[in-house]
A and B are shown apart, each in its own frame.
Chain A
Amino acid sequence: MTSILMDLKGAGDTVLKIAEKKGLDEAEAYLVSNKVLTIRLVNNAVFESKGVHDIGVGLRVIKGNMLGFSSTADLSKKSLKKLVNAAASTAKARKLPFKYSFPKPRKIPRVAGVYSKKLAELPSEKAVELAYDMVEASMGYNKKITDNAGVLNIVSYETLVLNSHGVSARNRGTFFETSLSATAKRGKSVSEGSEATAGRNLKEIKPKNVGEKAAEMAVSGLKSKKLKEDTYTIILDYEPAVGVVSYISYLVSPMIAKLYFPLFLDKLDKKIASSQVTLIDDPLMPKGVGSEPVDDEGTPSKKQVIINRGVLQKFVYDSFYGAIEKKKTTGNAIRASFAVGVSSFPGKNYNGEPIPFPRNPYCKPGKWKRDEIIEETKTGLLVRRFHYTRLTNPTRGDFTSVLRMGLYAVKNGEVAGALKKSRLLDNLLNILKNVDAVSDKLVVAGSWGDYAHTPIIRTKAHVAPID
C-alpha cells in the first residue's frame, strides 16, 4: 500500500468511527488522491504547464431513511468532525421514500493494464518534451503547417471506498490524453486538422503519430469545396463516432435521463437503433480507458450489453438509482461533479455523490474493414471530426454538430476531396436507426476529456454548409 493510500485509509477509518459515534446508521467514505499534469501547447510553443494534486474525502451517511453527503479537502480530525456534521445536516433534509443501504462487500475482479508506474512517475520535464514532440512532428510533416495547439494531460489517481458494511475497495490508475490541432496555410487558403487519443500507459503516448495525423488533416483541407445542403450517407470516423456514443451514455443514465435528457425514458426494450448497433459497457477490458476493478462505490465491475442489435436492453445503475427503481446496482457508479464553480478534473473527484453512468462504453465492432466502408460508399461524406456537438432537443433527439474540419466527399468508393465547414443537423434516433455498417476494430479516440474505444460507423444525416 502506498503512503498516500495509508494516509487516506487512516482518514477514512476516522470518518467512519466519528459517524458511528454520532449515531449514524451507515457511513461511506470515498477517498481520493488525484494528480493531473497538463502541458498546454499554443502557437507552436509550450503555453503553460500546470499541476494539481487534489486529496480529499466525500462522505455519504444514512440515518433511518435519510441520506446525506458532504466533502472536504482538509483531512485534519477537526475538519473530519465538521464533515460528518455537514453530511448529517444534509441527511436531515433528505428523506427517502424507499429503503436504501450502501453496497455490501463482494469479490473484486482484477483488471490488467490500467496503471503504469512509468506514467505516474514521469518527470514533468519529460512530459514537456513529449508534448512538444507533437508540434515538431506536425511542423515536420509539411511546410504548409503554420500553427499548432494542443494538450498533454497525464493523470494518476488512487481511490479507496470504505463503508460501514466492511467494503474496502481500492482503485489505482493512470491515464493520458494527447491532442493536437494543426493549421495549414497556402496563399489565402487556411485549413485545420486535429488528432487526439488517450490511453493508460506511457508506451501508448505517440506524439509523432498525433502530430502527423493532425497535420495531414490540415493539409488535406487546403483545397476544399462548399457542399450542397442535403441528406447524405455519412461515414463517422473514430472521433465523431465517440461523439455519438457519448450522448448515448448520457441517455442510458437514469439520473441524467430523468433530469435532463429524457429521449430514451420510454424506450426500454424498444428498437432505438439499427441491428448493426450493439453497445457494450466493459470496465473489465484490459487497458480500457474507462476500465477499473470496482466502480466509485466499491461494486465490482462487470461487462454488460446496453443496446443489443438496436434494442435498448437496460439503463445502468448505481446503488442509489437502483434502489429508486427497485433494481440492483449494475456497478456503474461514477463520481463526477457537474456543478458550476466547483473543481472537476480528469481522473477522480470526491466532491459529488455517485451517479449512474457507463464506464467503458463502446459500440461492438462489426465485420467491415474501415477502408471497405469507404470503398462501398457510392456517394457520401467522410466526417473525421465533430465540434460543438449538442442534443438541442433532449426530448425529441434533435442533434447538431459543427463539421469544422476533416470533412470530405466520398464518390464511387473513394475520398474525393475536402469540403468546407458545414453543420450536421438531424435527429439522434434517425442517425442510430440508419447505421448500416460498423468497422471491425476498436480505436481510442475522442476530444477534450471525453475518450472511448470505438469503431467507425456509417449512417445518414442532413448536412448544410456554413456560410
Chain B
Amino acid sequence: MEEDSALFAVGYASKLGADYVDARLEDHYNELIIVANGKVQRGVINRKRGMGIRTLVNGAWGFQSTTNLNKKSVRQAAKIAFKIAKASSKHVPTPVKLAPTKNHKTSYKTKVKTDMENIAFEDKLKQIINWEKKLHTSKKIVRGLAEYTGLKIHKMFANSEGARIRFSNSLMWLSLKADSKKGATTQSYEKTTGHSGGYEIFEKNDMEKISLETGHKAESLLKAKAAKTEKDATVILDNDYVALLVHEIVGHPSEADRVLGREAAWAGTTWWAGKIGEKIGSDYVTAYDDPAINGTLGYYRYDDEGVKAERKVLIEKGVLKGHMHSRETAAIFGVKPNAGMRAITFEYIPLIRMSNTFFGEGDWKKEELIEETKHGYLISCMRHPSIDDKRYNWTISAKEAYKIENGELTTHLRDVALTSIAPKFFKSVNAVTKKIEVLPLPGCGKGDPMQALYVGNGGPYLRGVATILGVK
C-alpha cells in the first residue's frame, strides 16, 4: 500500500493549519455469493482502495475521501477536508476537544488459517450450492437461501499526533435460511455462522449438518402452535434471542453520541441519558462491550481513532456504569476514550459503534433455569426488532418458543414476539446462566450516509418477565 500517501495527507493538512488530522489508507477485498433454490443469484468479487482524511479546524470536523491515490488527488482531498472544516467552524459554538490517548505505533493481524483468496471462487460456490441444497429437507421447504460474505481489509491509520497503526482483518459469515409452507401456514428458520478469521470456519463447523437442522427446524415450526398473548409472563431467553435484545436495548443506547442526542434526527436518543451510577436493573444484569475478543465479528485491537481497545463495562449488577466513546465524547463526559469509533470503509467518517456487546455471566445452568420455572416460556432465536427511538419500549419477535410447565418444556410455539419496557425488563431479570456465547450479527445500521457494519452480540440464557404477543 502507498503508506507514504497517508503520511503526506496528514502532513499537508497540518501545514494548512488543521489542529488535528488523521488519515485511513485502506484496501478492501470482498466476496459475495447468494444462492436461492439451487440458483446462483450473486457471485461477486469487489476491490476498493483509497483514503479518508479527517481534519479538525478551529474545533470543527471536516472529512474527504478519495479513491485516487496519486499525490495530486491526495493533496486535493486534504485541502477539501481542511477547507470544509474551516467553513463549518463558524457554526460550531462549542469547539470539539479530543480526550488524550497514547500514540500507538503497532501492527497486528487477525489469525487466519485458510485465506479466503486461496480457495477458488468456483469451489466456494459449489460448497454453498450444496449447503443451500441441504436446506430442502422435504417438499415443505419452499425456499432455501444461502448468503455468504467474505471481507479482507488492510488498513493503515496515521494521525498528526504520531500514531501509526496497521491492521489486517479477515471476516466472513454465511446465513442459511429455509422457508416452509403447508396450506396457508408459512414459517422460516435461519442460522448464521461467522467469525473474524479465515475460511477454516466452514471446515471446523459441520455446515451440512447446520443446513439440515435449519431445514428441519423450518419444517417443525409448521406443526408448532401459534402463541397466545400473555401479559407479564416468565420468559427464559436463549443466547440467540439475547443477542438481538442486547444489541437493541443495551448496545445502541450505550453509544455516547446517541446519549448526547446527536443521533436524534436519525436512529434516536436514549432513555438512560444522565443516569450513570443509577440502578436501572436487577443485580443479575451486567453488560459489556469488548472489541478484543479474538474470532468475533466485532474484533479489533485499535479503533479508527487509534485508541487501544478495552472491555467497556456498560451495566454492572444493574447499575448503569458507562457508555461507548469517541475521543470527542470522552472529553465531554470527562472519561478515558474507550475505542468505540469505527467506519465501514475509508469513505466514511468513523462513528461510535458496538463491537461485541453482550450480557455478563451468572451462575445458573440452562437446565436449572427451566427446572425451576413452574409456568413460563423458553424463547428461542431472534427474528425482527421494532424498538422506539429512546430504546425504551421494545418488541422483538422470535423464531420459536416452548411452553414451560412445572419445570419441563412442553408445547412447541411459533409466531411469537415479546414486548416490554427496558427498565421494567431489566428489573425483572432474576437468573442468568454461567455459559455465555457471542454470536455473529452482520448488518447493524447507523449514520448518514448509512454504514452497515458487522458486530458480535450475545450473552447467557437469561430469565425475566415480559409480555408474550401472539403474532396474528
Q: Whole-angstrom distance from the CB of A106 to the nearest CB of chain B?
A: 26
Bound Cα distance A71, B46 (Å)? 5
How far does the alpha carbon of A340 sit from the alpha carbon of B450 in the complex, in Å?
11
Query: Is A423 interfacial (CB 8 A cutoff)?
Result: yes
For the complex, what is the distance from the CA of A91 to the CA of B91, rounded to whole Å?
52
Complex CA distance for A162 and B448, rounded to whole angstroms: 31
The answer to whether B46 and A351 touch across the interface, beta carbons within 8 angstroms, is yes
B349 lies within 8 A of A48 (CB): yes
Of the listed residues A94, A125, A258, the one surrounded by the most CB atoms of chain B closer than 10 A to its CB is: A94
CA gap between A338 and B46 in the complex, in Å: 13
Interface residues of B in 137-156 (CB under 8 A from A): 143, 145, 149, 151
Instruction: Identify the stretch in A53-61, A241-249, A300-308, A453-461 within 8 Å (CB) of chain B at 4 or more residues.
Output: A53-61
B171 interfacial contact with A, CB 8 Å: yes
Chain B: CB-nearest residue to A400: B386
Q: Do the beta carbons of A94 and B43 come within 8 Å of each other? A: yes
B83 touches A124 (CB 8 A): yes
Interface residues on A, range: 35 or more
Shortest beta-carbon distance from A460 to chain B in Å: 15
Cα separation A151 to B32 with both chains bound (whole Å): 31
Question: Contact at A73–B121, with CB atoms within 8 Å?
Answer: no
Q: Which of A44, A124, A179, A180 has the largest number of chain B CB atoms within 10 A?
A: A124
Q: Which residues of A contact B397 (CB under 8 A)?
A: 392
Cβ contact of B47, chosen from A47, A71, A346, A404, cutoff 8 A: A71
Complex formed: what's the CA distance from A64 to B389 in Å?
Answer: 52
Q: Indicate which residue in B347, B385, B443 contacts A340 across the interface (CB closer than 8 Å).
A: B443
Q: Within A410-450, which residues are at the interface with B (CB < 8 Å)? A: 421, 423, 448-449
Q: Smallest distance from the beta carbon of A7 to chain B beta carbons, Å?
A: 10
Q: Which B residue's beta carbon lies closest to that of A352? A: B44
Whether A93 touches B389, Cβ cut-off 8 Å, given contacts A345-B449, A395-B186, A467-B421, is no
Report A28 CB to chain B, min CB distance, Å.
14
Instruction: Give complex CA distance A71, B44 in Å.
Output: 8
Contact A149 B262, CB 8 Å, known A388-B389, A392-B386: yes
CB-defined interface of B154-196 with A at 8 Å, one 1/0 digit per residue? 0000000000000000010000000100000010100000000
**A73-B67, A448-B266 in contact; A45/B448 too (CB < 8 A)?**
no
CB <8 Å contact, A70 and B46? yes
* A341: interface (CB < 8 Å): yes
Q: Which of A35-43, A231-239, A357-365, A372-380 contacts B (4 or more CB under 8 A)?
A: A35-43
> Could you tell me if B387 and A388 are in contact, using CB atoms closer than 8 angstroms?
yes
Q: Which residues of B contact A90 (CB under 8 A)?
A: 43-45, 121
**How distant is the Cα of A37 from the Cα of B32 in the complex, in angstroms?**
28
Report if A341-B452 is in contact (Cβ < 8 Å); known contacts: A45-B93, A71-B46, A94-B43. yes
CB-based contact B67/A55 at 8 Å: yes
A48 to B186, CA, bound (A): 46
CB neighbours of B388 from chain A (8 A)? 388, 402, 404, 421, 423, 466
A145 interface hit (Cβ, 8 Å) = no
Q: Is A174 an interface residue (CB 8 A)?
A: no
Q: Is the CB of A423 within 8 A of B186?
A: no
A324 to B38, CA, bound (A): 13
Q: In the complex, which of the residues B61, B63, B265 contacts A180, with contact meaning CB atoms closer than 8 Å?
A: B265
CB distance from B468 to the nearest CB of A (A): 15
Within 8 A of B (CB), among A139-197: 147, 149-151, 153, 179-181, 183, 192, 194
Most buried by B among A56, A340, A387: A340
Contact between chains at B48 and A72 (CB < 8 Å): yes
Closest chain-B Cβ to A272's Cβ sits at a distance in Å of 17
Contact of A467 with B452 at beta-carbon distance under 8 Å, contacts A50-B349, A73-B48 already known = no
A44 vs B200: C-alpha distance when bound (angstroms): 50
How far is the CB of B279 from the nearest CB of chain A, in Å? 20
Q: Are A38 and B448 in contact (CB under 8 A)?
A: yes
Asked whether, in the complex, the Cβ of A53 is within 8 Å of the Cβ of B66, the reply is yes
B370 close to chain A: CB less than 8 A: no
B378-399: which have CB < 8 Å to A? 383-389, 392-393, 395, 397
Bound CA–CA A49/B89 (angstroms): 10
Tell me, rounded to whole Å, the shortest Cβ–Cβ distance linking B439 to chain A. 15
Tell which of B41, B121, B151, B262 touches A89, judged by Cβ atoms closer than 8 Å: B121
Say yes or no: B149 contacts A341, CB within 8 Å: yes
User: Among residues 81 to 101 in chain B, which have CB atoms less than 8 Å away from a CB atom of chain A?
Assistant: 81, 83-85, 87-88, 90-94
Provide the bound-state CA to CA distance between A349 and B65, in Å: 15
B442 on the A face (CB < 8 A):
yes
The answer to whether B49 and A74 touch across the interface, beta carbons within 8 angstroms, is yes
Say if the beta carbon of B68 comes within 8 Å of chain A: yes
Report Cα–Cα, A44/B264, bound state, in Å.
12
User: Inside 8 A of B261's CB, which chain A residues have their CB?
Assistant: 42-43, 147, 149, 183
- Extra inter-chain contacts (14) besides given A339-B32, A351-B46, CB under 8 Å: A40-B448, A43-B260, A47-B262, A55-B67, A73-B49, A79-B47, A93-B121, A93-B124, A128-B88, A341-B30, A344-B449, A423-B388, A449-B448, A466-B392
Interchain residue pairs with CB less than 8 A apart (25):
A38-B449, A47-B262, A48-B61, A49-B62, A51-B81, A53-B65, A53-B67, A54-B347, A55-B68, A69-B45, A73-B67, A89-B120, A90-B45, A93-B43, A179-B265, A341-B149, A342-B46, A343-B347, A344-B449, A352-B44, A388-B387, A392-B471, A395-B186, A423-B395, A449-B449
Q: Which residues of A contact B (CB under 8 A)?
A: 36-56, 67-74, 79, 82-83, 86-87, 89-95, 97, 124-125, 128, 132, 135, 147, 149-151, 153, 179-181, 183, 192, 194, 255, 258-259, 262, 324, 338-346, 351-353, 387-388, 390, 392-393, 395-396, 398, 400, 402, 404, 421, 423, 448-449, 466-467
Query: Which 5 pairs, one residue from A and one from B, show the smallest C-beta to C-beta distance?
Result: A50-B63, A181-B265, A149-B265, A93-B125, A93-B122
